[in-house]
Amino acid sequence: MNTLLFNITLVSYMLALIFYAVCAIFKKEGLGLFARGILILGLFNHTAAIFVRWVAAGRPPFSNMYESLIIFSWALILIYLIVEIIYRIRILGIFVSILALLILASASGLDSSIKPLMPALQSNWLVIHVLVCFIGYAAFAISFVSSIMYLILYKREAFEPGGRPLNTSLDTITYKTITFGFLFLTLGIITGAVWANRAWGRYWGWDPKETWALITWFIYAFYLHMRMLKGWKEVKGAWVAILGFLAVIFTYIGVNYLLPGLHSYIK
In terms of domains, do 57 and 172 share one?
no
**Tens digits of residue pLDDT in 84-118:** 999 988 889 999 999 999 999 999 888 888 888 77
In terms of domains, do 97 and 216 share one?
no
Look at residue 60 and tell me whether its pLDDT is greater than 90.
no
pLDDT at 178: 98
**Tens digits of residue pLDDT in 160-181:** 555 567 888 899 999 999 999 9
Q: What is the mean pLDDT of residues 56-68?
A: 88
Q: What is the mean pLDDT of residues 232-252?
A: 92
Mean pLDDT lowest among 45-49, 69-73, 112-116, 247-251: 112-116
In terms of domains, do 168 and 256 share one?
yes
pLDDT at 138: 98
pLDDT at 69: 95
In Å, how far from its chain's centre is CA 40? 16
In terms of domains, do 100 and 127 share one?
no
Question: Could you count the other beta carbons within 10 Å of the beta carbon of residue 30?
Answer: 9
State the Cα–Cα distance between residues 204 and 207, nearest whole angstrom: 8
**Tens digits of residue pLDDT in 183-229:** 999 999 999 989 888 877 788 778 888 899 999 999 999 999 999 88
Look at residue 120 and tell me whether its pLDDT is greater than 80.
no
pLDDT at 106: 92
In Å, how far from its chain's centre is CA 117? 24
In terms of domains, do 99 and 125 share one?
no
The whole-model pTM stands at 0.92
State the Cα–Cα distance between residues 62 and 70, nearest whole angstrom: 9
Look at residue 242 and tell me whether its pLDDT is greater than 90.
yes
* CB 150 within 8 Å of CB 233: no
State the Cα–Cα distance between residues 34 and 31, nearest whole angstrom: 5
- Domain hosting 172: range is 118-267
In terms of domains, do 215 and 184 share one?
yes
pLDDT at 267: 54
Last residue of a domain, one of 92, 114, 136: 114
Last residue of a domain, one of 114, 149, 171: 114
In terms of domains, do 55 and 174 share one?
no
Backbone angles phi, psi at 159, to 5 degrees: -130, 150
Backbone angles phi, psi at 124, to 5 degrees: -65, -15
How many folded domains does the chain comprise?
A: 2
Residues in the chain: 267
CA distances from 220 to 140, 172, 185, 238 (A): 9, 15, 10, 12
* CB 174 within 8 Å of CB 141: no
pLDDT at 260: 67
In terms of domains, do 92 and 165 share one?
no
Which is nearest to 252 in space by CA: 75, 90, 30?
A: 75
Question: Could you count the other beta carbons within 10 Å of the beta carbon of residue 2?
Answer: 15
In terms of domains, do 151 and 109 share one?
no
